[in-house]
Amino acid sequence: MKDKIDKELIISILIPLGIGVISSLLSFGGMSNYDFLKKPFLTPPGFLFPIVWTILYILMGYSSYLIYNDNNYHSDCCLKIYAISLFVNFLWSPLFFGLNLRLFSLIWIIVLDIVVLYMTLCFYKVNKKAAYLQIPYSIWCLFATYLNLFFYLLNR
């Protein structure tokens, strides 16, 4: 039984990590002009982004693992919303960095904010710990929305 749980946990964590890696690989071409953009106040140094995202993806994966293993009738719905959030998250980086679509990326990340908030509330109905683990992701998404907005405004 323990081996099965450990495999489920590993898979739950590898899914968002893998999605993040693929998304960043699709965005890499647009990263070359990132250095030349006017940056908003509070823009973190570039090396911090992969560190933060790795931590967030691990928290997201563990949170989804808790929902997956909960015998609540809302679990399936919550995991579908989680999958939608991963999809929306996956596309943001290629839109922002790869295609340089700053305004569309802003709209897209607002959609992500809404989906993540809804997912967190859904998780809360199933497992409070799983919901609390989503709070750093929610905050980071809101911060990324701020950055996206000002990258758009400063670089039109």
Q: Give the pLDDT confidence of 8-22 residue by residue, as tens digits.
A: 999 999 999 999 999
**Backbone Cα Rg of the chain:** 16
Domain total for the chain? Answer: 1
Angle value at C-alpha 91, between 90 and 95, nearest 5 degrees: 140
Judge whether 111 lies within some domain.
Answer: yes
For residues 23 and 93, the answer to whether their CB atoms sit within 8 Å is: yes
- Digit-coded pLDDT (tens) for 87-117: 999 999 999 998 999 999 999 999 999 999 9
Find the domain containing 6 and state its range.
2-23+45-154
The CATH number linked to 132 is 1.20.1260
